[in-house]
Structure 1
């Protein structure tokens, strides 16, 4: 019998999708915490649910679960307010909060009058100011989009938390490698796409004289009843030409193989993203923690 070598990723998590009503979050958090899930990730999608409010509730309802927000759209949030909220969460729940920032969906930013001419410039200025504020610095800056005048947090965290950033295009991805503390890649990236993204991220890190940043990758995943049909609906919703290598459907062993493929491609963390119509969100997080994790 052939020997199978398992390649472990640092972290395996799951997403609570904002298509679910906020009142469903508590049961999913409890299921995640009790089953031993490492991380539960939340989204701040317009115009569904707040990333910070849901993160605070999830952290309060759990004992050991780490909670990620991926991501906060920076055009919507003044950087000083974001720093205050992140610092508060970090002090209340040390080492249990992961925050990612990014451009946000440009159509949504246009809807609320927050779209900017240069999203890359805004993200660069924003990350630098946010990191400085969370490090306890007093910040004055007059950027193109970020202006702070003698601003410092009264309650900075004892240690500045990492600030991750999401990116899709090559310019943004290079910036994430240069300036952030980690990258978040959306679901729909095949292992080969992750390899290419990692090259761009690493080039950005090298240009800034930094080590490579860790990479979080979302993975479309479905198991149980009607999984194939539900994933086909996801393919149509995201307008993928094909779902092959962009998702995984099946039992724990099948899902674990897809996770390991992303780990081989350079993912440090893989976060399984259920379909919005998954019939059992609580069961999904238990499946990830109890069935998939031991195989990864």
Structure 2
């Protein structure tokens, strides 16, 4: 079954998160996703609060920028949340937007190398291993978590279980790396349907090269708008993202959807057929009622998605 989620955009004030998360939980939405964009809101802090305010909702961070983070601390935070809220917390790592990393004094000369080292160490720590590594960026001396996540987890929990770590990826090198070193991949809302299909192929290449088997979760964000002015707001959003021209000429690309529940559900299904396990609806920056958007996704779109 395709999981359906929604993004709480960090352009909304942190104090808005409680109502958004509770609306998602009460309406039966599968997943809530959060961003750690610079310099807006902390991913770990918001995920902790959202999990505590809800009962059944799965919460994912997509993504934490690893240049800002020590891998031991990120593993400790992830393990703690997975023990406090079993099967409900998914974490995604990315190499960050380099201009932002430069502003914070954390720009890496080789972002892909940093991400690889971070992913390998993070997954080993979450498996309960004692890790010593002297990499280009990640350096650990016999570090082990005293409280690693409990092993196991159902298929339904997927990326929320055990040592699972997702990677944010866009280019071929990053996508192959995700297949090699991560348990899932997060694709942003600039991904077309063909991009999703190509990502699956590149991820599979990476997994084959590393001799990895089993399922690799793919999470895809999808621009979405509903209501009387949905089309206008979606076009404006895509224009801000530099995607408007492509979408105007090729609506079948799958860059976004505006309309009623049936229209949105069909778009979600197309993304799922292209290779997504989870489709996360991304409201426009000027969405007038974020809580109602969540209820729309859960109450009206979710029943129409296989």
TM-score by structure 1 length? 0.95
Correspondence for 1:70: 62
For each residue in 1:226-257, what CA deviation from the matched residue of structure 2 results, as whole angstroms up to 9, or x when unmatched?
A: 21121112111111132232100000000011
Which of 165, 176, 179 is equivalent to 2:178? Answer: 176
CA distance in 2 between counterparts of 1:100 and 1:48 reads 17
Residue aligned with 1:242, SS: helix
> Partner of 1:242 in structure 2?
246
Counterpart CA distance in 2 for 1:231 and 1:103 is 28
Show the 5 A alignment for 1:249-268: 249-268=258-277
**What is the correspondence of 1:1-296 to structure 2 with a 5 Å cutoff?**
8-9=1-2, 11-159=3-151, 160-211=162-213, 212-240=215-243, 241-243=245-247, 244=251, 245-296=254-305
Deviation at 1:146, TM superposition (A): 0.2
Q: Partners of 2:180 and 2:31 in 1: how far apart?
A: 25
CA distance in 2, matches of 1:135, 1:198: 25
Query: Alpha-carbon deviations, 1:80-105, whole Å to 9, x = none?
Result: 11011001111110100000001111
Give, in angstroms, the shift of residue 24 of structure 1.
0.3
Q: Is the 8 A contact 1:221 1:248 kept in 2?
A: yes
Q: Deviations over 1:103-148 (max 9, x none)?
A: 1111101111111111111111100100111111111100000000
3-state SS in 1 of match to 2:246:
coil
1:65 to partner: Cα distance? 0.5
Moved over 2 A (4+): 241-245
Return 5+ residue gaps in structure 2 as ranges. Answer: 152-161
Query: 2:156 corresponds to which residue?
Result: none
Aligned partner of residue 198 in structure 1, secondary structure? helix
Q: TM-score, normalised by structure 2?
A: 0.92
SS in 1 for 2:22: helix
Q: Alpha-carbon deviation of 1:152?
A: 1.2
Q: How many residues align?
A: 288
Distance apart, 1:275 and its partner CA: 0.4
Q: Is the 8 A contact 1:235 1:242 kept in 2?
A: no
Structure 1: tracts of 5 or more residues without a match: 1-7
Contact 2:124 2:163 in 1 (8 A): no
